[in-house]
Amino acid sequence: MYKFLKLFFFCLFVFYQSNVYSSEQKIVYLNLDEIIQKSIPGKLILQELQDQNKKNLEKFKSKRSNLLNQEKDIIKKKNILSKEEFEAKASDLNKKMKTFNKEREQTFLKFEEEKKKKLNNFLSKITPLIETFVKENSINIVLNEKNLFIASKNFDITNQIVEIVNKNIK
């Protein structure tokens, strides 16, 4: 009986302590996309990527327009050219189109790779800042807002992290 009471009080103590510890857990969330969009270094990265993408689009728009004009020219001359000349010009244009499409695809793949690299680099710079913030504020868990269903705005630390990023990353 004595052992049973001892065991009972021990279990009661352990469960009580685990409840006390679990109630002291501090869980917050942040929005990484918003940090990138609102912070000064994040805005600079996004602007640089947007400019690069516009430049790529303009480059390929003019090339595409040039190829379409060549195609229209060949079609206009279809009745004037001999069958062999027409097929040769059409074949040449087809090769140019394939080259254009391949170049465009490679450029956009490189752009996506560059975008991913720059954003990962930015995230690697802000991660230590977030870790420091977490330690200073005794936070146990930080979640990304995308993975939440619903939470109180009181637990959102996004704006605080944006301020820290603006102060520490130039």
122 versus 78: which is more confidently predicted? 122
What is the domain range of residue 42?
Answer: 2-168
Structure tokens at 96: 């140019």
Which pLDDT does position 100 carry in this prediction? 93
| Amino acid residing at 140 | N
5 vs 50: CA distance, rounded Å: 70
pLDDT for residue 53: 95
pTM for the structure as a whole: 0.73
DSSP 47-100: HHHHHHHHHHHHHHHHHHHHHHHHHHHHHHTTTTS-HHHHHHHHHHHHHHHHHH
Measured over the CA atoms of residue 84, residue 89, residue 90 and residue 91, the dihedral's sign is: positive
* Closest by CA position to 91, among listed 102, 80, 101, 83: 83
Between 155 and 54, the more confident residue is: 54
The total of structural domains in the chain comes to 1
